[in-house]
Structure formats: structure tokens, C-alpha cells
Amino acid sequence: MVYKLTRKNILEAMNKGTRLDLRGPLDQRPIEVRFGVSKNAEGSVIVKCGKTEVACGIKMGVSTPYTDHEAEGTMMTAMELLPLASANFEYGQPSIESVEIARVIDRGIRESGFIDFKKLCIKEGEKVWSVYIDLATLNDDGNLIDVGALAAVLALMTARFPEYDEKTETVKFGEFTDKKLPLNEDKLPLTVTMFKIGNNIFVDPTREEEDSAEARLTMEISKPESQKTEMINAMQKGGEAPLAVEEIEKMVDEATKIFKKLKTLVDEELEKARKGDKKSKKDKKE
């Protein structure tokens, strides 16, 4: 919820190429990542982007497959807009905001081919692994789709299978293996949402900026090894205002640039996590 006057200022600032926190329209806020924040989850991470903070936990379970995908595992994404995180979030049925965010993040991961669902099959037609991507907002200062999507892929990258008892065909929750999820790591998708206010496009809004925006375009992008260029795996236009074709083209170009920057950050963070893992394993052995 933003004051009319503040919205006016945000627009005026954007028209002059600046923002209330002195960023440029295409600058992201500083991103902080913490891995392994919830030990009972198969994988977990907290991502902070400016003051926005989102936690993601990966839980695994075993279930029967869908009848039209009998040899594939399943995936479910949920985003809890916790009332803890904002006076604007309420209890009750998941709001349309939380449903849209979850579905958009889900599509990007699904369409990219990041998860090898066939390798999640235990017994065709009978038993497959289910991956639950559970997101929860710990503080809302805008850009929940992008931050949530980032948290989701980072959590997936560091997740491990729980122990599975083949005789009883049950999961031994709480006992973890060293086996990573079957991921095509080169297909890692990242989400970049471009927002529009007046004739300006911008990225990574604060809550006030997001509430002032007239429209947005979320793009889920990946750069598989086999491809020469980036691939757009999913897209969603949101908000009431229409977008001109030129605006969309510009948004796609800018999003691709930002994807590259984000990918570098992700690779650095995952490298840190790997080193941290090695160190703690080494400490355990000693």
C-alpha cells in the first residue's frame, strides 16, 4: 500500500533514471544467501534481497505417479505469504497472490528441464518420488517472485535424498543420504521480472515500487549447454496496464542481461556452499 504522493515521486524519479534508494532502474539490491537453514528439510535456503527475505525448504516424499506420466516423479510448489512478514498478509485460504507466485515459479522450473523427473521414478506406474518446494516469506519488501524462484533453485541444488527402505517401500524421514537430486544443472532456470511505471521499465522493486507499478512481465530463463543463446522457459504478464510490443522486446533484452549477472552470483554462492560442505565433512572426519 503506497501513498499517492509516493507513487508520484517514484514515477518522477524513474523518468529521471533514478530511484528512491538511489539505485538505477536496472540495478538489483544486494543479495545474501544462507544454506542449510532448516535441518529437517532435504534442502533449505534463505535468500535476502535488500529487505525482502524468503525461506525455501525442499521436502521429499513418495507417492503414486500421475496416470499420464507413469514413469516420472512429481513436483509441487507452494508460497506461504506469512502474516509474520507483512501487515498486508492474512490467514485463511491461500490468496490469489500466493497462488500466482507459486504457479509461476513452478512453471519455470518444470519447463526448463532442470529436474530430471524420469530419474525420480522408483517403480513405474506405482511409486515415484515427489518433490515439494515450500517457500515462506519472512519479510516482504517486494519482488517476491524473483526472490522465491531464486531460493527454490538454490534449495534444489543443495538438496539430498532421504533414506528409502526398499523392503517396506517407505521413506525414512530424518535420515539423509549424500545423494543429490537428479538435476540437469546446466538447465538451472532463473527468474527475472521486469516492471513498468509510466514509460519506464525497472527490476527488483521495493514493496512501494511494486505497488506503484502498472504492469509486470516475469520471465524464466536458462542457458543450457546445448544452446548458443539463453532460453525463455516461461513467461507471465501481470498487472492491469497493457504492454506495447516494443516494451516487451526491451524487457526481454534487459531480463537476459540480468539473468547473466544473476547466474554469476548463483555460481559463486553454490561454489561457497560446496566448499563449506567439504569443510564440514572434513571437520566431521577429524
Partner 1 sequence: MTDKEKHGKKELVIPGEIIASGDDFLPGDWTQKQGKDIIAIRYGVLEKQDRIVKIVPISGVYIPRRGNFVIGEIKDLTNAGWVVEIGAPYQAFLPLRECLGFIEESEMEGIYGIGDLIAVKILNVKRTSIDLTMKLREKGFGKIREGAILKINPHRVPRVIGKEGSMISIIKEATGCNITVGQNGLIWIQGPSVENQIYAENAINFIVANTITEGLTEKVEKWLKENKGDKK
Partner 2 sequence: MTKEEKSLYTKRFDGRKFEELREISAKVGVVPNADGSAIFAQGDTIAIASVFGPKIFHPKNQQNPEKGVLRVHYGMLSFSVTERVKPGISRRSQEINQVTEWALTPVVMLEELPGTVVDVHINILQANAGTRCAGINAAALALAHAGIPMREMVSAVAIGKMDKTIVSDVTKEEEDYEDGEGATDIPMAYLPNSEKVTLLQLDGKIQPEKFKEALLAGKEACKKIAEIQKKALKESE
Binding stretches for partner 1 (CB under 8 A)? 3-6, 9, 12-13, 16, 18-22
Q: Which C-beta is closer to partner 2: that of 14 or that of 136?
A: 136
- Pick one of partner 2, partner 1, none as the site partner of residue 12 (Cβ within 5 to 8 A by kind): partner 1
Q: Which stretch binds partner 2 (CB under 8 A): 25-33, 58-66, 217-225, 245-253?
A: 58-66
Nearer to partner 2, 48 or 196 (CB): 48
Nearest-5° Cα angle at 8, 7 to 14: 90
Pairing of the two strands 127-139 and 74-80? parallel
Partner interacting with residue 245 (select from partner 1, partner 2, none; CB below 5-8 Å by kind):
none
Which one among 28, 105, 128, 140 touches partner 2, defined by CB under 8 A?
A: 140
> What's the CA gap between 33 and 49, in Å, rounded?
9
DSSP 3-state percent helix, strand, coil across the chain (nearest 5)? 35, 35, 30
Q: Is 210 in the site for partner 2 (CB under 8 A)?
A: no
Which residues 6+ apart lie within 8 Å of 209 measured at CB? 10, 19, 20, 142, 195, 197, 202
- Residue 155 identity: A
Which of 26, 78, 122, 183 touches partner 2 by CB under 8 A?
78
Compute the chain's Rg from CA coordinates: 20
What is the contact surface with partner 2 in residues (CB under 8 A)?
A: 37-41, 44, 51, 55, 57-59, 61, 78, 80, 82-87, 91, 94, 132, 134, 136, 138-141, 173-174
